[in-house]
Amino acid sequence: MGNRSSLLIYFSVLTAVILWGISFVWSNSILVNGLPALTLIFFRMSLAAFILTTTSLILKKLKKISLKDVPTFILLSFLEPFLYFIGETFGLQYVNSVTISSVIISTIPVFAMIAGILFLRENISPINIFGIFITIPGALLVVFEKGEFDISHSLGILFLILAVFSAVGYSVIVKKLADRYNSYTIVTYQHLLAAIYFLPLFLIFEGSTFSFSKITSSEIILPLAALALLCSSLAFILFINSIRYLGVAKSNIFTALVPAISAAASCFMGKEEMSYTKLAGVLIVITGVIIAQKKQKINSSLKAESFPS
């Protein structure tokens, strides 16, 4: 692979990670402007499913699912995006902090590595273990930045932990499908099924109060469209392309940058202040996640693609 091709691949993965980092800011902006969480998730999944289906059909990448694999796809989509986005979106709503949310979500590669050891018998080196453990004090520095921790804060943390473990479960299950289906097929059906999952929840809990005038306001529709088009569609395609050339391990290292990008974007947009304590915590978590994946083999537990929001 030539230098120009290498630069293009690295540009792709960096663009994907930057979009995922900014996604926390856009989601938080939508929630702050009064759009309920389930409405946000349902319309994000529906728009993304439409975009991914159209793209996959145009590129002729969408494969027919074997009948025996249907239950696996159903479970896969239930874990992610369904449970994952419930955890991430409600966690962000209760915590109301882009930085805290993105730092907790950024531990997914760490716990995925642990799942690889427990369920897939992956090998792990002492330096990987060291990286896993040093992420803990970093996350605590961010969460306990002001020495305060109220009940709504803790509820948000629990939702975010749900998101983390849902993504880890997804990583284990998707490995069984990756050898038979391409990334476009897996990701497209994920979002189609997720839209179906979220439809009854949206109708039951928020359908009666829903108003198209609310969702079509510029404060809502612009970041919502950006989430569906850029973060749930374009970023996935770019990241999949980088995995094809760099491998899963090298590509996933870049996801450690998500909390730093979220914090920087939130600070730049005037949403949050960046204290020295919070900055130190972010840097420690980033360092730990990178070390945890250091010297990880390409055919590791995440060989089948697992992605952030």
| Cα distance between residue 106 and residue 89, in whole Å | 15
Confidence of residue 239 (pLDDT cuts 50, 70, 90): confident
Tokens read off for 105: 């979500």
Amino acid at the residue 20:
W
pLDDT at 243: 66
Burial 102-139 (b: 16+ CB within 10 A, else e): bbbbbbbbbbbbbbbeeeeebebeeebeebbebbeebb
pLDDT tens, position by position, 98-111: 777 877 887 777 78
The secondary structure of residue 302, as a DSSP letter, is T
Q: Which residue has the higher pLDDT, 4 or 285?
A: 285
Tokens representing residue 94 in the block: 């209760």
- What is the structure's pLDDT at 220? 95
Count of CB atoms situated within 10 Å of the CB of 206? 16
Highest mean pLDDT among 198-202, 236-240, 266-270: 198-202
Q: Pick the range with the lowest mean pLDDT from 66-75, 89-98, 221-230, 292-301.
A: 292-301
Report which residue type is found at 247. G
Instruction: Locate the domains of the chain by residue range.
Output: 29-292
* Across 4-8, 140-144, 223-227, least confident range: 140-144
> Are the C-beta atoms of residues 42 and 197 closer than 8 Å to each other?
no
Distance CA 169, CA 82 (A): 12
**Rounded distance between C-alpha atoms, residue 175 and residue 85, angstroms:** 20
**Confidence (pLDDT) at 4:** 67
Kindly write down the DSSP assignment for every residue of 37-62, as one continuous string: HHHHHHHHHHHHHHHHHHHHHHTT--
Rounded Cα distance, 67 and 61, in Å? 19
Which of the listed ranges 113-117, 157-161, 248-252 does the model predict with the highest average pLDDT?
A: 157-161
